[in-house]
Amino acid sequence: MKQSRPHDIEPLPDESIDDFMDGRLRLIQSRTGYRFSIDAVLLSEFVTVKQDDIVVDLGAGCGIIPLILLSKKPVKHAYGLEIQWGLAYQTSRNAALNGFSDRMSVIMGDIKNPPLTASCADVVVCNPPYRRKDSGRINTDRERAIARHEILASLDDILNTARGMLKPKGRLAMIYPVERLNDLMIRMRTLDMEPKRLRIIYPGMNSDAKLAMIEAFLGGKAGLKVLPPLLDQGDYSIGGQT
């Protein structure tokens, strides 16, 4: 059962507290630094979570994905792994602010060498950097740069860590650019993580796809289910529900 929210958690001078999901969640975020995107929200809706699952979020940011999962799905405990102190501190306060401190742990650490035991998770979820380290302009804001480019962790780093954390038949869910989808699926299979569910996101009816959400099962049998396409931001589009 969700605990009552504390009233003594205050944002730092460069932070704000924002309501989300009609006020069911309150989130401390940076005013000008990294702020969560709709991609993380869509991924939290997509991932399969079963009763009493243990969930690990690789690169938790402000904690939006585990917070949504704890509020809407039957998660037993969620762990948010975050390498940046400022974001880890936000995640910790957001867990307390929303009454989830007893079911959510924040761990400051590197995805390439995480301080978590092997085979500890039923579900690993990740909204990773989309761009290779040497592609495009690097944002001058450190938090945003790390979120967008593979500065501290590559795709291979993420997949290798997820593979080690998952229990047999555990699930990895990610959102990723369509242009890099082949790389992702091939590397998943190389690590015995079989892609089982795929949903492609289109900006509009007459636009090429930009992003895809994919869920792979460790040791799963071959067979991919392609779900109906998602247009724009789904229920979170303008005029949709939150």
Is the pLDDT reported for residue 242 higher than 50? no
Angle, helix 64-72 to helix 85-97, in steps of 10 degrees: 20
Number of domains in the chain: 1
219, 168 contact by CB (below 8 A): yes
Is the pLDDT reported for residue 132 higher than 80? no
pLDDT of residue 237: 46
Question: CA of 25: how far to CAs of 40, 58, 155, 162, 199, in Å?
Answer: 15, 21, 30, 27, 26
Convert the pLDDT of each residue in 193-205 to its tens digit. 999 999 999 998 8
Residue 3: inside a domain:
no
Instruction: State the average pLDDT over residues 210-230.
Output: 97
Which position has the higher pLDDT, 109 or 5?
A: 109
Residue 197: inside a domain:
no
pLDDT of residue 234: 64
Residue 9: inside a domain:
no
Give ∠ CA 158-159-163 in degrees, rounded to 5. 120
Instruction: State the average pLDDT over residues 8-17.
Output: 90
Q: What is the CATH number of the domain that holds 62?
A: 3.40.50.150
pLDDT of residue 207: 92
Range with lowest mean pLDDT among 75-79, 168-172, 232-236: 232-236
Residue 216: inside a domain:
no
Residue 7: inside a domain:
no
Convert the pLDDT of each residue in 146-158 to its tens digit. 555 455 689 999 9
pLDDT of residue 21: 92
Q: Which domain range does residue 98 map to? A: 15-173
pTM reported for the whole predicted model: 0.88
Convert the pLDDT of each residue in 92-131 to its tens digit. 999 999 999 999 999 999 999 999 999 999 999 999 986 5
Convert the pLDDT of each residue in 28-72 to its tens digit. 999 988 889 999 999 999 999 999 999 999 999 999 999 999 999
pLDDT of residue 18: 94
